Amino acid sequence: MNIKELSSLKVLENNFGTSTGLTWFASGPKIDSFSPTNGEYIGSVFSTTKEEYEEVIAKAKETQLFWRDIPAPKRGEIIRLLGERLRKEKESLGKLVSYEMGKSYQEGLGEVQEMIDICDFAVGLSRQLYGNTIHSERPGHRMYDQYHPLGVVGIITAFNFPVAVWAWNAALALVCGDVIIWKPSEKTPLCAIACQNIISEILKENNLPEGISSVVTGDAEVGKWIAEDERISLVSATGSTRMGKQVAETVARRLGKSLLELGGNNAIVVTPSADLKMTIIGAVFGAVGTAGQRCTSTRRLIVHENVYDKVKESLVEAYKQIKIGDPLDSNNHMGPLIDRVAVSMYLDALEKVKQQGGNILVEGKVLEGKGYESGCYVTPVIAEVENHYEIVQHETFAPILYLIKYTGEVQNAIDLQNSVKQGLSSAIMTTNLREAELFLSQNGSDCGIANVNIGTSGAEIGGAFGGEKETGGGRESGSDAWKAYMRRQTNTINYTANLPLAQGIKFDL
């Protein structure tokens, strides 16, 4: 496969640049994209220069004044058209995601489906950007709150979900009356170009101006421009905790708003009453899916001593069945890591596991030979460890599953789960109602996502997505996450001929 096979997305040439919506331009250093599936060169994107970035932001600011005055349901109509276009392009865009990022084709299709789902959600939302009516303590007064567009939203996304996370932000921000500037990962730039081509076509067909949706390409320096820019009202950043801390500090210094979706160190608690067949399926998909490169990937399996040996035996047997290879081949369960830097981090983590006393149950290695020429294919690992090991306390973006034994009550397992700095996704496998409810209570999981009898990986767009602690505290996608993209305003209307003051204060002249 090569990029020309993706012609339905109009990604035909090897020179791509910055888009302000309809016009492409850029003259900075070239970013080459290589597929981790076979190591082949796909195409190149020119980076955005500072001068070109200034043009993009100026156009976005100008266009936002126009876009915010379009009624929200009319903005929703544009997102409806985006969802329809994505349905038509699902197969080819899913294939591009799989080829450039390395996840399985089924997961690539699933990622595009997430884009379609959030468009559907946003269309309905466009008629429900509601506030609240509040009873006033003063007679003849009415109070209410309402929401207005923020302005320009900067979106910084990671390589592992190269299109879906943009859509989560873009669909909501655009419906809310904001315009967007997207800085995609330099590891998956062509996925961003493809998405921008799709939305640009829709904007052009509906006679809408440039600047509603823009892409700026480049390395971390471009992300820094966005974080520092006072003209950008909200910076939504997805990536590592290290990156998120830098963005948060920079944005906070200018008293801006940030929405952060950062690292995860997700655990499944397995109690004595768990359905072990469900447990194994959930744990294996959570640990191996996307080659362990999801923020919600299962990193730790915390298993009660009564079922520990049985779970261990079943896991090892299941791992023997994992097929690794070209992610576009639907017979394979796992594709490659994103690049050789990720492979080095994987190998380094395995060394640390051994140095800190872990027992490797399923050995890890880099695969070589026919079909593995990219050097990015590795085998999934299972390691018996103690939760306090330094390596276990950190997120490794690779298919490494830590097996941890707990004894006694389920609260002991919950405490182990909560004892890491990250707080994104969590799950418990149990058929005991009391254990399930405890896990979901204030004394249970401290994560933003807590599941019962499903794994840590795979969230629906209807619920708010995000986590606590070093995961950043942000919420994207469903529920009332849309409020992050708007500014709140409280209004009081006096419809009497008098001016009573609040709290009964008298001020007579």
- On whether the CB atoms of residues 17 and 45 are closer than 8 A, the answer is yes
Q: Which two tokens stand for residue 176?
A: 């809310």
For CA atoms 294, 295, 300, 302, give the dihedral sign.
negative
Dist. CA 75–CA 149, nearest whole Å = 12
Q: Which two tokens stand for residue 121?
A: 């959600």
Dist. CA 150–CA 68, nearest whole Å = 9
Instruction: State which H helix or E strand residue 34 sits in.
Output: strand 30-34
Q: Which two tokens stand for residue 324?
A: 């690794």
Q: Which 8-state DSSP code applies to residue 261?
A: E
N-to-C CA span, the chain:
82
* Placement of tokens 């499903």 in the chain: 454
Q: Is 165 helix (H, G, I), strand (E, B) or coil?
A: helix
Q: Is 88 helix (H, G, I), strand (E, B) or coil?
A: helix
Dist. CA 117–CA 361, nearest whole Å = 39
What are the residues facing 406 on neighbouring strands?
304
**At a CB cut-off of 8 Å and minimum separation 6, what does 207 contact?**
none
Active site residues: 261
- On whether the CB atoms of residues 477 and 122 are closer than 8 A, the answer is no
- On whether the CB atoms of residues 141 and 493 are closer than 8 A, the answer is yes
| Nearest alpha carbon to residue 286 among 270, 305, 306, 262 | 270
